[in-house]
Structure 1
Amino acid sequence: MSSMFKASKLLSAGSRRFASTTSVKPPLDLYGLSGTYATALYTAAAKENSLPAVSTAMGKLQSLFVNDKRSRDILVDPTLTVSDKNEVISIISKKCDGNTVFKGFLETMAGYNRLDIIEDVTSDFQKLKNASEGLVEATVTSAKPLDAATLKKLTSSITDSSVVGKGRKLKLTNVVDESIKGGIVVNVGDKTLDLSVSSMLYKYNNLLTTPV
């Protein structure tokens, strides 16, 4: 039995503790274990009409991990007993203004010893939230930071493309990676446009070393 199938079965059983039976279709298909958990949380929150509250709590959880790494380390500590985990979850849930769906979800993850991927889950949940609001996230990687004018042109160009789609908004983030040497690499969802110098050099080298 695959890990994905196991996760789906476990989540189906666990989520019944904190969600109703109303059918909800997520706005985006996510894969991997973190995607499965994020989708389960999104679905549970939507069923209980508490998506805004859970989204806010997940955002605060992300900020908490950034500003207080000790909280993150304690939450994912594998040596904690079930009782200790529940106490930590209660404290963190209060810090994040989490409701019963949010707290129940963390307890479900703790019950299956999956809190080690909680940061990936929060990231995937954000993707679902953005998709539900018509927001598309994209990254443009460059060897040096791009200036505001270049970012504006790229944002306009990508927004007008079929990748984003009519009526949707684009959130473009510039990531700096000197290893690409020059040019840019654009990632939108599962699509990648590699216009980097390093990629071009790799292609040229392959051409030069391939027997004619």
Structure 2
Amino acid sequence: MNANKAAPQYTAAAKSSALDPTAKSIEALNAVFKKDAKLPLVLAAPSLTVDDKKQIVAELQKHAGQPNDVVKNFLATLAENNRLNALEGVCEKFAQLMSAHRGEVELVVTSAVPLEQKVLRQLEAAIGKSKYVEQGQKLKVVPKVNPEIRGGLVVEIGDRTIDLSVAAKMSRMNKLLQDTL
């Protein structure tokens, strides 16, 4: 799903001065996808009837809180065009557009085990003072857990990645050993 699918919704919200309410509704919809792993499968079902789609749209509108006309029209358009399965990707891309609009930079911190909030705040403060963050930008910390890195951290900010994981160090040592043999 590319950003072009979310751009019309963002533009419509901006033109109607409804960016913040639209963003809240879209965030609520995105939260529904995170809670219910089966929802994308239901939305992608080819056997959905017109009545099924209407019921799904009505239920999604309930979850969106007080959806404005932009969100209502968008959901109705997706249903009419058999594109409800694109909703999750559009919600994610819309969140990225809103993040850019707010001047936020995503700081993805991947660790082998969940990190404490104190550690995440320390990382945020340290990186916030670094050359990777321009003045006026805000960091949005996204913690992730991936046991495959075995330890250490992988920090991604913008298009840069700092890999301090044990798995990466092991890979480099293995390569060195193979090259010398």
Q: Rate the CA distance shift 1:106–1:141 in 2: closer, same or farther, 3 A.
A: same
Q: Report the AA paired with residue 167 of structure 1.
A: G
State the distance in 2 between where 1:138 and 1:204 align: 28
In the alignment, which of 7, 20, 23 is matched to residue 55 of structure 1?
Answer: 23
Q: Is the 8 A contact 1:186 1:192 kept in 2?
A: yes
TM superposition shift of 1:198: 0.6
- 2:164 counterpart residue number: 195
State the distance in 2 between where 1:91 and 1:192 align: 40
What stretches of structure 1 of length at least 5 have no aligned partner? 1-32
In the alignment, which of 38, 57, 62 is matched to residue 89 of structure 1?
Answer: 57
- 2:69 counterpart residue number: 100
State the distance in 2 between where 1:158 and 1:204 align: 28
C-alpha distance after superposition, 1:104-159 (max 9, x if no partner): 22233334433223222212211221221222221211123334443232111211
Q: Rate the CA distance shift 1:79–1:162 in 2: closer, same or farther, 3 A.
A: farther
Describe how 1:119-158 pairs up with structure 2 within 5 A: 119-158=88-127
TM superposition shift of 1:73: 5.1
TM superposition shift of 1:173: 2.9
Q: Report the AA paired with residue 5 of structure 2.
A: Y
Q: Is the 8 A contact 1:134 1:169 kept in 2?
A: yes
- 1:16 counterpart residue number: none
Q: Is the 8 A contact 1:155 1:170 kept in 2?
A: yes
Q: Report the AA paired with residue 115 of structure 2.
A: L
The yes-or-no answer on 1:109 pairing with 2:78 is yes
Q: Report the AA paired with residue 151 of structure 1.
A: L
- 2:48 counterpart residue number: 80
Secondary structure of the 1:144 match is: coil
User: So what's the TM-score if we normalise by structure 2?
Assistant: 0.82
State the distance in 1 between where 2:12 and 2:157 align: 27
Secondary structure of the 2:108 match is: strand
User: So what's the TM-score if we normalise by structure 1?
Assistant: 0.72
State the distance in 2 between where 1:60 and 1:150 align: 28
Number of residue pairs aligned between Structure 1 and Structure 2: 180
Q: Rate the CA distance shift 1:108–1:62 in 2: closer, same or farther, 3 A.
A: same
The yes-or-no answer on 1:40 pairing with 2:13 is no
Q: Report the AA paired with residue 165 of structure 1.
A: E
TM superposition shift of 1:58: 0.7
Q: Which gives a bigger RCO, structure 1 or 2 (Cα 8 Å, sep 6+)?
A: 2
Q: Which moved more, 1:85-94 or 1:37-46?
A: 85-94
- 1:178 counterpart residue number: 147
| Identity %, equivalent residues | 38
Q: Rate the CA distance shift 1:208–1:113 in 2: closer, same or farther, 3 A.
A: farther
